[in-house]
C-alpha cells in the first residue's frame, strides 16, 4: 500500500495527482463504484455499471467517468483489454474500512477507541465534550495514519456489542 500511483493510462501523465489514500476523500458515487468493484476483484465499466444498477441505476458514461477519475487518483489501476479497460482496486475493502475508522477515531474521538466504543454502546447520548477533550489530552487510543481531507459521509457498523466504558467526572 506504499504506492497507489500505478496507472496505465498513457494520456495526461503530467496531470496525475498524488494518490488519495483515504477512502473518505472519495465522492459518494466513487465510493459506490468501489463498493461494487471490491467483491468483483476486477471488472469493466459495463460490469461495474450492471452490478451497481441493481441498487443505483446510472448511465454507462457516468460510471466510465467515475472509474477514470478513480484511476487518475490512484485508487484503482486499469489495463486495456480489447476496446475496454479492466479495473482493479489498489486499496482493499478491509484497508479502506480500517482507514475510515481510524480517521473517525482520530478526528471525532480524539484518538480514543474507548470513547468510540462508549458512543456506539450508548448511541442515544453523545459523550460529553469535556470527556472527549480529556481523552484527547491523555493520548488514549491507538495510532492511525489517515489522510482524509473531504467531507464525505460513511456508515460504521460493528460486529458485536460494545463494551461499556465509564469516564471519570472532573
**Axis-axis angle for helices 60-73, 45-52 (nearest 10):** 120
Q: What is the mean pLDDT of the chain?
A: 73
User: Grid coordinates in use for 65?
Assistant: 467517468
pLDDT number for residue 123 = 72
> In the Cβ-directed half-sphere of 76, how many Cα atoms lie within 13 Å?
29
pLDDT digits (tens, 9 = 90+) for 68-127: 999 999 999 999 999 999 999 998 999 989 988 998 999 999 999 999 899 988 876 555
* E strand segments, 6-159: 42-43, 76-81, 84-89
DSSP assignment, residue 91? S
CATH of domain 13-89: 1.10.10.10
Q: Could you tell me the pLDDT band of residue 156, with boundaries at 50, 70 and 90?
A: very low
* Domain range summary for the chain, segments of one domain joined by +: 13-89, 94-157
pTM of the model: 0.59
Asked if pLDDT for residue 154 goes beyond 60, the answer is no
Amino acid at each position: 500500500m506504499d504506492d497507489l500511483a500505478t496507472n496505465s493510462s498513457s494520456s495526461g501523465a503530467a496531470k496525475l495527482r498524488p494518490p488519495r489514500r483515504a477512502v473518505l476523500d472519495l465522492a459518494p458515487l466513487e465510493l459506490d463504484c468501489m463498493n461494487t468493484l471490491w467483491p468483483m476483484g476486477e471488472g469493466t465499466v459495463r460490469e461495474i455499471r450492471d452490478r451497481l444498477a441493481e441498487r443505483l441505476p446510472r448511465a454507462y458514461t457516468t460510471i466510465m467517468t467515475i472509474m477514470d477519475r478513480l484511476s487518475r487518483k490512484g485508487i484503482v489501476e486499469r489495463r486495456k483489454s480489447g476496446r475496454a479497460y479492466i479495473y482493479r482496486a489498489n486499496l482493499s475493502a478491509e484497508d479502506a474500512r480500517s482507514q475510515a475508522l481510524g480517521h473517525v477515531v482520530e478526528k471525532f474521538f480524539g484518538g480514543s477507541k474507548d470513547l468510540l466504543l462508549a458512543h456506539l454502546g450508548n448511541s442515544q447520548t453523545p459523550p460529553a465534550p469535556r470527556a472527549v477533550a480529556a481523552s484527547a489530552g491523555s493520548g488514549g487510543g491507538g495510532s492511525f495514519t489517515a489522510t482524509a481531507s473531504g467531507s464525505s459521509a460513511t456508515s460504521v457498523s460493528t460486529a458485536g456489542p460494545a463494551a461499556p466504558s465509564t469516564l471519570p467526572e472532573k
